[in-house]
Structure 1
């Protein structure tokens, strides 16, 4: 089994805010992330796939195709967007990094060929905070 990782980057704004809670409770739970005027992050995304290399090409999956898939299904939809308002696959969800990683998985998984499995989405919100999702 071979693991192949592609790194991408995007910038996006969001707000963590539960509309069922008071402003005070949102601020107590989410702190500055509940800012009414939003805030942003410079996200780093690592998409890891796994499988066996093709005997004819030696590739697990063409990295150009993987890059294009990530770009069209994820980056183009997220980069310089408001996650709460502009991203169809995040509408109605709490826009935490955890939920964003799951949603990115859901955007990519159906578009990979049968012989390639999505292994991990690793999403850095900051240099010191990241989430890993393994599709479980």
Structure 2
């Protein structure tokens, strides 16, 4: 059977600040992110399988992406853990805010690489992550493609 790509889209709200950046994005601000997750595989051909004809159940893909990306990042503020904003991050956490201290500068480019690693680790053996598109605004996005990596 042919390989088929399927895509599921997700949205989440996340704040961040870019440590050391020379523009406005050095300030804490947020985005309504849109993440498109595309996987590739062969549809199930076993006629006794309840998921006959599916590459992966969209619900199963949704569960993975929600657990690894959406739930942790939605309504969180992401800082590079080496940022001088660490005092602000600690104060936000003390006040009950959701803060992620990342090992990277929280640009769309680095976030999409992080998300790819997390999602790939959870996919079934016969399903491959094909690509991710992380849209930060209507006109700006970062893409990750397995073929490039």
Q: TM exceeds 0.5?
A: yes
2:73 pairs, out of 78, 102, 111, with 78
SS in 1 for 2:70: helix
RMSD: 1.2
Output the CA distance in 1 between the equivalents of 2:37 and 2:57. Answer: 14
TM-score (norm: length of structure 1): 0.86
Give unpaired runs (5+ residues) of structure 1.
Answer: 19-25
1:6 pairs, out of 2, 5, 8, with 8
Within the alignment, does 1:66 sit opposite 2:56 as a pair?
A: no
2:35 corresponds in structure 1 to 45
Give unpaired runs (5+ residues) of structure 2.
Answer: 47-51, 80-88, 90-98
CA deviation string 1:2-40 (max 9, x = no partner):
00000000000001113xxxxxxx32xxx11012xx000
- Bigger Rg over Cα: 2
Residues matched between the structures, number: 122
